[in-house]
Amino acid sequence: MIKRNVLVMGLAILLSACGFQLRGTGTTALTLKELDVSARDAYGQTVTELTKTLKNSGVNVHQGAEYKLFLASENESSRSLSYNGSNRSAEYELTDTLNYELRGERGLLLLEDKTQVQKVYVQDSNNLAGSDQEASQIRREMRSQLVQNMVLRLQLLTPEQLDKLQTAADRKAKAEQDALDAAKKIEDETPRQSPVEVPAR
């Protein structure tokens, strides 16, 4: 029995040394150890929940951090999928979309993307109050899922990816500035015509 336990422990150590992790036991550590999180709705439930989740994951969320996550907008929509016998909507598809931006050094845009969650619920025409409560509960669950999706997106960003994104943003900013400088130089070097004088009669 002791030999068996020693063997199991040895295999576990060997696998962990190779970077292997059992599903469900992986770390939730993020490459971004500090992050400036803001949103168009500064006191909205989504940004509040995301900030709390990031802090619980060991991220130092504060203003002035090198990387800035901005939740640009959150859009909720619904559409009817089917109808009951009385021609009243019975089944709805709810969609919640979160648009976001990640900025790096000098506030340069590194990436902009969106994450989306969809759920379907059945409305009971005989219990509209209960159906509304169910829809509200589903919306809360969808918001939590959006937050989890956002955290997962951040977990996938490696230092190498962040460096590449920053390099690309730097090149784009330089190209735009060079174009502005060239246009200004041409404007400055172009002779300005004096206004035409109209002879007095």
Q: Which residue from 116, 114, 73, 115 is spatially nearest to 94, judged by alpha carbons?
A: 116
Task: Evaluate whether residue 147 is within a structural domain.
Answer: yes
Percent residues over pLDDT 70 in the chain: 74
Cα separation, 113 vs 45, whole angstroms: 20
Contacts for 63 with CB less than 8 Å, ≥ 6 apart: 36
Task: Evaluate whether residue 200 is within a structural domain.
Answer: no
At 145, which CATH number? 3.30.160.150
Cα separation, 40 vs 47, whole angstroms: 9
Task: Evaluate whether residue 189 is within a structural domain.
Answer: no
Tell which wins on pLDDT, 111 or 196. Answer: 111
Task: Evaluate whether residue 41 is within a structural domain.
Answer: yes
The answer on pLDDT for 21 being more than 50 is no
Number of domain units in the chain? 1
> What are the angstrom distances between the C-alpha of 45 and each of 90, 134, 143, 147?
28, 18, 8, 10
Cα separation, 161 vs 193, whole angstroms: 52
Task: Evaluate whether residue 11 is within a structural domain.
Answer: no
CB 94 within 8 Å of CB 142: yes
The answer on pLDDT for 115 being more than 90 is yes
Written as one letter, the residue type at 196 is V
- Of 85-89, 127-131, 163-167, the range with the highest mean pLDDT is 163-167
Task: Evaluate whether residue 198 is within a structural domain.
Answer: no
Calculate the average pLDDT of the chain: 81
Residue 160 lies in domain: 28-164
pLDDT at 3: 46
Report pLDDT digits (tens) over 158-192: 999 999 999 999 999 999 989 998 988 888 888 77
Percent residues over pLDDT 90 in the chain: 53
pTM of this structure: 0.72
pLDDT at 199: 64
Task: Evaluate whether residue 115 is within a structural domain.
Answer: yes
Nearest-5° angle of CA 35, CA 39, CA 41? 150
The whole-angstrom distance between residue 179's C-alpha and the CA centroid of its chain comes to: 31
Task: Evaluate whether residue 190 is within a structural domain.
Answer: no
Going by their DSSP bridges, the two strands 89-103 and 34-39 should be labelled as unpaired
Written as one letter, the residue type at 13 is I
